[in-house]
Structure 1
Amino acid sequence: MRRAVCPGSFDPIHNGHLEVIARATSLFDEVIVAISTNPSKKHRFTQDERVEIAHETLTYLRGVSVMPMGEGLLAQFCRAQGANVIVKGLRSSHDLDFELPMATMNRQLAGVETLFIPAESSYTHLSSTLLKEVAALGGDISPFVPKAVLKRLKPDDAA
């Protein structure tokens, strides 16, 4: 079985993430969406909420599972899950510059390769940080995020 891990904080998960995950499912038998907590980021949703949102959103894709990554190195997580590939989406050369050293380190630490999937051009402007800012200022982010995110960002629907 060909198994890959698609890691990220996914805070919130958006249509650019979904597009990369969907494309990964055509390449692998199973794609594990690993929800991480980045201590250098201010999260809008807890890890449990992000896992729940991803579960709710990704039901349309076969071969996708969602789990919290927990503490430790991504390479170790991949090995524990029996995955030898990490899938990362790239929006620009800046993403590549950021991701390439980590890809090399993961390969050297645990023999885990990284597959970079270039984002669809209609999603290259999306980032979770930008979407959180736009939503906080009252902007409409509905074209860019799944319904599971949208309903949790609207105060009226958050019951």
Structure 2
Amino acid sequence: MKKIGFSGTLDPITNGHMWVIGEARSIADEVVVFLSENSSKKPKFSAEERKSIIDLSCAEEGWDNVQVVIVKGDYTARAAKKHGADCLIRGIRTTADFDYENLIQQTNVDVLQGAKTIFVMPPRDLGSVSSSFVKALEGPIGWNWIMKKFVPGPAYHAWVMSWLRAEWESLWDYAHADVPATAHADEWFARLTGATAYGGATRHYHNLDHLVHGLCEIRAWAANTAPEPRDVDIVKQAFWFHDAIYEHGADGLSNEEGSAQLWLGSSLSHDMADAVELIRATDHFQEQSIAHRLKHIMLSVDLAILAQDDEVYQNYARGIRQEFGHVDDVEYVQRRCGVLRHLCRKAEAGLLFGDAYFSEHYNERAIDNMQREMARLAG
């Protein structure tokens, strides 16, 4: 077969969609993805953004025979025929899918004189993966770690950036800010999420995932303890900046103090003092000298990764090892186990999470995770 089409809204494209495209490539010389604008739906990403995500996802796989066409004001089956594709390919996951797709197939051919449909069945591990399924994951603690398993890298990055963007705009009240203020905030958002900060290629743990996770932890803490809204904003401000600078072997200032100075230089707030103290509290050399009322919240949020489920914790541990890739295995095991033993002792004494909310929910799990990591490193 020379050309085959695959159609959908693809908001976002998932690993299930990618599997279908892969199947299409196995039976045709060329695959055309017909991306429906569909004005009746309210997609998260514009058609152009979705096209870019699909192009990047296919390029990441090395697929150079996949073309993406945005369909505006036409049926995708009819658009497929116009582009020389006599067949569309669709994935069938359930009997309900078959009943629905069979009806669409009949309409496409008998009513629209459009392309016929070939049906393929995805493997079991992709049987429940759909755009709506992925969208439903967003929100609770750990949602980003879960979503990452179900979408290609470019789709995941776009989704995380969209989520972070909404968090950032809410923090700085874009709805009521003037144009110069939002432009200034835009510059700092781009800087913090870009290659010189959390979006850096060498950031294997202190990266965008870490940023999302921490902000979700702050959300959960606020929802369960009802602090003053201003206090929530202060912790968020500090968390956005606390690992903005992360350089091994940097001369002069510590990473934490460098991040604190970056915050002060941003001039994003009328009152910079509270957040800068919380950023400095994440530096163990400065922590003891800081008595800020929110210090234990900030430190608990930063350490909450230690108490996640095993899969997330192992991803975290691998990320830390990659960030210290310049350290040989023997030295790394010695240094890492030293850190973990110190943190375990604090947890066993009930001092790891200085805030009661985090201590109640996370302390025991953190001890278990760290002990297992030490055992793996020693083995």
Give TM-score, length-normalised by structure 2.
Answer: 0.40
- The aligned amino acid for 1:55 is D
- Cα distance in structure 1, aligned partners of 2:40 and 2:95: 22
Find the aligned partners of 2:38 and 2:77 in 1 and give their Cα distance.
16
Residue of structure 2 equivalent to 1:141: 147
1:79 and 1:63 mapped to 2: Cα distance?
Answer: 18
Partner of 1:154: 160
Which has the higher Rg, Structure 1 or Structure 2?
2
Query: Structure 2 residue aligned with 1:81, among 71, 80, 83?
Result: 83
Report deviation, 1:134.
0.5
Amino acid at match of 1:120: P
User: Which of 124, 127, 131 is matched with 1:124 structurally?
Assistant: 127
Q: What SS does the aligned partner of 1:110 have?
A: coil
Deviation at 1:154, TM superposition (A): 1.6
Per-residue deviation, 1:132:
1.2
Distance 1:42 1:112 in 2: 26
Q: Give ranges in structure 2 of 5+ residues lacking alignment.
A: 166-188, 191-379
Q: Deviations over 1:57-110 (max 9, x none)?
A: 012224211121221122320121011001111111111111111111222232
Instruction: Name the structure 2 match of 1:37.
Output: 37
User: Aligned residue pairs: how many?
Assistant: 159
Q: Larger % of helix: which?
A: 2
CA RMSD of aligned residues (A): 1.8
Q: 1:136 to 1:100 in 2, by over 3 A?
A: same
Q: Deviations over 1:21-41 (max 9, x none)?
A: 101101011110111123443
Q: Distance in 1 between matches of 2:41 and 2:133?
A: 13
In 2, Cα distance between equivalents of 1:62 and 1:95: 30
Equivalent residue for 1:110, pick from 96, 108, 113? 113
Tell me the SS of whatever aligns to 1:26.
helix
Q: Secondary structure, in 3 states, of the residue corresponding to 2:138?
A: helix
Greater Cα offset, 36-45 or 87-96 = 36-45
Partner residue, 2:67? 65
Q: Which residue of 2 aligns with 1:16?
A: 16
- Structure 2 CA distance for aligned equivalents of residues 91 and 100 of structure 1: 13
Secondary structure at 2:32's aligned position in 1?
strand
Distance 1:134 1:75 in 2: 31
Report how far residue 111 of structure 1 moved. Answer: 5.4
- How far apart are the structure 2 equivalents of 1:136 and 1:40? 25
Matched to 2:80, the amino acid is: C
Instruction: Give the gaps of 5 or more residues in structure 1.
Output: none
One-letter amino acid matched to 2:9? S
- After TM superposition, the score normalised by the length of structure 1 is 0.91
1:110-143 CA distances to partner (integer Å, 9 max, x unpaired)? 2521100111111011111121120244412101
Question: What is the distance in 1 between the residues matched to 2:115 and 2:103?
Answer: 13
